[in-house]
Amino acid sequence: MIDFQIKSLGSMPYLEAWDLQKERVAARRAEPELADELLLVSHPPTYTIGRRATEDHLRVPQAELEAAGFTVQRVDRGGETTYHGPGQLVGYPILNLKRWVQQCGTGKIDFHAYLRQLEEVIILTLAEWAIHGWRYDGYTGVWVDRPSGPEKIAAIGIKVSMSGIAWHGFSLNVDPDLTHFAHIVPCGIHEHGVTSMTAVLGRGVTMTEVEAVIVEKFQQVFKYNPAAVLVNK
């Protein structure tokens, strides 16, 4: 089993968390034997625009969003445009994929397999609240059934360095302001909506509760040794 650490960072501006990820990736480039990490965080209201996004994915002009207090940031992950904000749990695994595939015995890096594992972490987490999360063929992320049809409850977008270090990650809608998603085409998907755990359950769920389960399921899926939880490090 591989050693890893959890860092629970609370609320942090998106750019600060992005810089932290870059630092941690650089550290593993210099010292590949460093333990993997999972950074858990929430962000102030922020729209991030991935490499595959187009300008029409912002339904409101950027200047208007910024005047209303939103941060709009272009990023180097895959995917389109997404929203981060209070009530959403964001996880950034800083993971040595070369070491992980050796541990799993597959022998080569498989980006799609890594994405499916991140989805599995979310699916197992939702199951603890009896929410049936599922994979939607042709889409990345985790979905749930709603009266209006499938809705996305968790988004995933990753980047992998030339040295095989994965970063960026996933966002799970625990109890965010869902109206903020109306300002964009979430993940470039016009035909389906976005939901949250609170909306599905009809009651509140705390970030602390969900964070604890995410840690447990991440260890289970990725076969890590028990992690030390380092708060605000």
Q: What is the pLDDT of residues 127-136, one digit of tens each?
A: 999 999 999 9
104 is catalytic: no
As for how many domains the chain has, the answer is 1
Which comes out higher in pLDDT, residue 112 or 104? 112
| Predicted pLDDT of residue 104 | 63
Q: What is the pLDDT of residues 136-171, one digit of tens each?
A: 998 889 999 999 899 999 999 888 888 889 999 999
- How much is the pLDDT for 105? 59
Quote the mean pLDDT of the chain: 88
CATH assignment at residue 32 = 3.30.930.10
Backbone angles phi, psi at 222, to 5 degrees: -95, 0
pLDDT digits (tens, 9 = 90+) for 45-76: 999 887 666 667 788 888 888 899 998 888 77
* Contact (CB, 8 A) for 36 and 169: no
First to last CA, the chain: 24
- Rounded to two decimals, the pTM is 0.91
- Exactly one of 187, 194, 200, 214 is catalytic; which is it? 187
Q: Which domain holds residue 174?
A: 4-231
Q: pLDDT > 70: what percent of the chain?
A: 91
